[in-house]
Amino acid sequence: MANLHSFSRRGLLLGGGVAMTTMALAACGGSTGASSSSTSSDTSDAKVSLTFWGWAPGYKEAVELWNKKNPNTQVKWIATEASRKIYPKMLTAVKANNAPDLAQVGYEALPSFVIQDAVQDIKEWAGDVGKNFTAAGAKSVNLGGAVYGIPVDTAPMAMIYNKALLDSLKIKMPKTWDEFASAARAVKKADPKASLTYFSSDPNFLAGLVRQAGGRWYDVTDSTVKVIMTQDAASRKVADFWQKLINEGSIPVHEGYTPQVYKQMNEDTLISELYGIWDTALIAQNVSKGKGKWAVAPLPEWPDRPGGADMGGSATVVLKGSKNAEAAVRFATWMSTDPQAVSILISKGGLWPASTTGLANKALQKPDAFYSNDKVFVPFIDVAKNLKYDWVWGPTQVQAGQDMENNLVKVSKSYPMTKALADTQESTLAKLKKQGIKVG
């Protein structure tokens, strides 16, 4: 089985016949490593200024709280485009030696940053990540024995749905995927203009569904990468399930987080969205007509593999070139573990805490007015604790994710999801080989 801890930048590059010396690493990454790029005197009396790039709601307010409490270490927050749109700019900034100290990086992209020598190993200052964070967060930042970030959030997947509309159609909230398929057909029969949900072209959406079904897209060892998107049985199972609904016309395909999505929700023609639990905040912010109508439930399950799904999350990383790594890690750890900071991230951004102490944060128990004052997070506390974590991302996922999104948005009867996976696998293998990484 693939193991995130087996991932090694040096091993993968050497395994592909690319022996990169320390001098070469310095040339392409702007630094030879955390110890050499972070030797500034970072005492409590020293004045330190840090710059932080990211996009998630709540980060700005958390930074403001830190700055009030820590006058000697000030963090400048710069809001950016989200995830795949900002990663190329981050990597370019590292190569140009003008990157910020800190950056929000999704777990799926972290191996890409590691293989490009763009992030620092912060193990020296990170503390016991395995103890202080849930498995999904800790294993996502621990690669090859190094620690490349402080986990911020994970994303137990939920079905966020218009309960009032579903009740009016006399359709029960589906608890299994078979029930979900039946509900999708029933909605379309009752109102041809309406859909139970849509299939999102976001690759993290499909990844979460595949993870729930017990699949994986990569097998990674210290020296080789196998891309198995088309060979993986669970991936085919999930693809075939959704393809059938798409072919029937029960479920449309389009991008997520678009004005179109929220317009349809406000018009009662899109009944649900299956996403990470943080999506509860986005729907509440964008679907004003849904207040008091919407509810939140765990994702439907496969009877032969009961359990929830996880849609990823992100870490705060220290980029290469920062001269204040110790101070940066101290801030990042505080943001992920301080009760006030975690409460801000939960209430402002709907972020699910990756820290073990965060699971006891009072903000998770708070009723949500948009969702009829339900305590929408409570059912997911046990889901988060019990999530299996045997997923691994490939070292070129920034490119692979963009390719997959471009392919998934085209899925139709004539361009099935299995073809989208095959095309993504082909381009991913080509990218791995181009970077000198040995493929299995």
Q: DSSP string spanning 192-218? A: TT-BS--EE--HHHHHHHHHHTT--SE
DSSP per-residue string spanning 91-139: HHHHHTT---SEEEEETTTHHHHHHTT-B---HHHH--HHHHB-HHHHH
Is 76's pLDDT higher than 70?
A: yes
Residue pointed to by tokens 């870490």: 315
Phi, psi dihedral angles at 176 (to 5 degrees): -125, 165
Is 35's pLDDT higher than 80?
A: no
Query: Do the bridges between strand 48-54 and strand 73-79 make them parallel or antiparallel, or are there none, so unpaired?
Result: parallel
Grade residue 52 by pLDDT with cuts at 50, 70 and 90: very high
* 257-299 per-position pLDDT tens digit: 899 999 999 999 999 999 999 899 999 999 999 999 999 999 9
Residue 44 confidence (pLDDT): 57
Grade residue 209 by pLDDT with cuts at 50, 70 and 90: very high
Decide if 281 contacts 360 (C-beta within 8 A): no
Q: Which domains does the chain have, with CATH numbers?
A: 4-154+312-386 (3.40.190.10), 156-309+394-434 (3.40.190.10)
Decide if 333 contacts 126 (C-beta within 8 A): yes
Q: How far apart are CA 387 and CA 405, in angstroms?
A: 25
Residue 144 confidence (pLDDT): 86
Q: How far apart are CA 33 and CA 36, in angstroms?
A: 6
Is 138's pLDDT higher than 70?
A: yes
Decide if 432 contacts 424 (C-beta within 8 A): no
Grade residue 328 by pLDDT with cuts at 50, 70 and 90: very high
* 220-257 per-position pLDDT tens digit: 887 899 999 999 999 999 999 999 999 999 999 999 88
**Whole-prediction pTM:** 0.87
Q: Which residues pair with 295 in a beta bridge?
A: 161
Q: How far apart are CA 140 and CA 126, in angstroms?
A: 14
Contacts 24+ apart (CB under 8 A), 179-184: 179/300, 180/300, 181/241, 181/244, 181/245, 181/250, 184/245, 184/250, 184/251
Q: What is the mean pLDDT of the chain?
A: 89
Residue 158 confidence (pLDDT): 94
Grade residue 85 by pLDDT with cuts at 50, 70 and 90: confident
Is 411's pLDDT higher than 50?
A: yes
Grade residue 34 by pLDDT with cuts at 50, 70 and 90: very low
Q: How far apart are CA 84 and CA 80, in angstroms?
A: 11
In 210-293, DSSP assigns E strands to 218-220, 225-227, 253-254, 272-276
Q: How far apart are CA 26 and CA 345, in angstroms?
A: 36
Residue 13 confidence (pLDDT): 46
* 367-393 per-position pLDDT tens digit: 999 999 999 999 888 888 777 777 889
Decide if 141 contacts 107 (C-beta within 8 A): yes
Stretch 339-367: mean pLDDT, rounded? 95
Q: Classify residue 189 by burial, with Cβ atoms within 10 Å: 0-12, 13-18, 19+.
A: exposed
Residue 9 confidence (pLDDT): 56
Stretch 165-174: mean pLDDT, rounded? 97
Stretch 406-435: mean pLDDT, rounded? 97
Grade residue 339 by pLDDT with cuts at 50, 70 and 90: very high
> Smallest Cα–Cα separation from 273: which of 409, 155, 160?
160
Stretch 385-413: mean pLDDT, rounded? 90
H-only helix segments in 2-100:
9-15, 22-29, 34-37, 59-69, 87-95
Q: How far apart are CA 190 and CA 184, in angstroms?
A: 10
Decide if 293 contacts 64 (C-beta within 8 A): no
Is 203's pLDDT higher than 70?
A: yes
* 100-135 per-position pLDDT tens digit: 999 999 999 999 999 999 999 999 999 999 999 998
> Smallest Cα–Cα separation from 199: which of 171, 218, 180, 174?
180
